Amino acid sequence: MKCSQGENFTKGELQRFGNIELSPSAGILNYGQGLFEGLKAYRKHDGKILLFRPEENALRLRMGAERMCMPSPTVEQFVEAVKVTVLANKRWIPPPGKGSLYIRPLLMGSGAVLGLAPAPEYTFLIYVSPVGNYFKEGLAPINLIVETDMHRATPGGTGGVKTIGNYAAVLKAQSAAKAKGYSDVLYLDSVHKRYLEEVSSCNVFLVKGNVITTPAIKGTILPGITRKSILDVALSQGFQVEERSVSVDELLDADEVFCTGTAVVVSPVGSITYQGKRVTYGADGVGRVAQQLYSALTSLQMGISEDKMDWIVELK
């Protein structure tokens, strides 16, 4: 789908996957006008194809587009385009339990612009790829390092939207962490350098007794759709949930730590290293609460348990 600045997207068309042509002065290439989304389609035992809350991705893209001076498809256009793309690629969806089809919507300033300004034209496209289950043999803990020098976002910046530049900003800290054997980086806020933000592509949660706490959404962390869903699932299972500022010191005292995101769903954290000190969680790093919430959400997404929250969109 294409449209000019100030206009609305009109109906798009299916195209075979391949390279796309862009002007060297396209807005996305020069001024980072790019936003993306990520969601999954699962195949159910009865052959139906399931999407998980696709309208939430549409709303997040629209919020990001507003921040990035870009036009965006309507929620209906977005969801319809996702459905059409998934159905056209049905054969690539793994069998039940074997993985999912990862769906990547991408909105970009595709028009040419030389001086700093929003691009004159925009393209919205969706591509897909089959992916295996993130955890193949049960949940495995990840090991994080708290980054104290580099930040992924600042107040008033673009950290709260899914724009491509946020990911460029984390590559250096993430590569350094991986080179030292950590799974990923846990970022702190850039003002006090004390409050937890998120991991490179996941939101973070702490468990203490019956209370599940996660950093509040204040514009510097991505409002994860898995985060929002886990908070509701946790409430429905009798946990108390808190969204507030979470100091890095609280990590020392937590019973469990876990991360959430579309790719991992729920990922238990086995250890966190902060200023050279390593804190470990539980005997094997896979917390009871993380395990329980992972099972609840994945069975819902795969159509195994009843969709009481009305989160699933079924495709025939």
Residue 262 within binding range of ligand PMP, rule CB under 6 A: yes
CB of 38 vs ligand PMP, minimal distance in Å: 5
Residue 260 within binding range of ligand PMP, rule CB under 6 A: yes
> Which of 2, 3, 23, 38: binder of ligand PMP (CB under 6 A)?
38
CB of 214 vs ligand PMP, minimal distance in Å: 11
Sign, Cα dihedral of 215, 217, 223, 225: positive
Report in angstroms the alpha-carbon separations of 253 from 48, 50, 87, 97: 44, 39, 47, 36
3-class DSSP state of 40: strand
Nearer residue to ligand PMP within complex by CB, 49 or 103: 103
> Which of 225, 233, 248, 312: binder of ligand PMP (CB under 6 A)?
225
C-alpha–C-alpha distance, residues 300 and 308, integer Å: 9
Is the separation of the CB atoms in 266 and 213 below 8 Å? Answer: no
C-alpha–C-alpha distance, residues 161 and 219, integer Å: 8
Residue 53 within binding range of ligand PMP, rule CB under 6 A: no
Nearer residue to ligand PMP within complex by CB, 100 or 201: 201
71-79, 123-131, 236-244, 254-262 -> range binding ligand PMP (CB under 6 A): 254-262
162 is catalytic: yes
Which residues, including other chains, have CB under 8 Å from residue 236's CB and lie 6 or more apart? Answer: 308, 309
Residue 28 within binding range of ligand PMP, rule CB under 6 A: no
Nearer residue to ligand PMP within complex by CB, 111 or 229: 229
Nearer residue to ligand PMP within complex by CB, 8 or 236: 236
- Site map 55..94 versus ligand PMP, x via CB under 6 A: ----------------------------------------
Residue 224 within binding range of ligand PMP, rule CB under 6 A: yes
Residues 116-135 that bind ligand PMP (CB under 6 A): none
Nearest residue to 287 via CA among 178, 209, 202, 214: 209
Copy the structure tokens of residue 290: 């993380």
C-alpha–C-alpha distance, residues 251 and 247, integer Å: 8
CB of 36 vs ligand PMP, minimal distance in Å: 9
Which residues, including other chains, have CB under 8 Å from residue 21's CB and lie 6 or more apart? Answer: none
CB of 225 vs ligand PMP, minimal distance in Å: 4
> Which of 261, 270, 285, 303: binder of ligand PMP (CB under 6 A)?
261
Residue 267 within binding range of ligand PMP, rule CB under 6 A: no
Residue 163 within binding range of ligand PMP, rule CB under 6 A: no
Using CB under 6 A as the binding criterion, the count of chain residues that bind ligand PMP stands at 13
User: What is the b/e burial string over 72-87, where b = at least 16 CB atoms within 10 angstroms of the residue's CB?
Assistant: bbebebbbbbbbbbbe
C-alpha–C-alpha distance, residues 174 and 163, integer Å: 17
Residues 190-219 that bind ligand PMP (CB under 6 A): 198, 201-203
DSSP-derived letter for residue 95 is P
CB of 54 vs ligand PMP, minimal distance in Å: 11
Catalytic residue (one of 40, 162, 208, 277)? 162
Q: Can you tell me which residue has the tokens 């005292």? A: 253
Which residues, including other chains, have CB under 8 Å from residue 42's CB and lie 6 or more apart? Answer: 49, 50, 52, 93, 96, 100, 101, 301, 302, 303
Supply the residues annotated as catalytic: 162
- The residues binding ligand PMP (CB under 6 A) are 38, 198, 201-203, 222, 224-227, 260-262
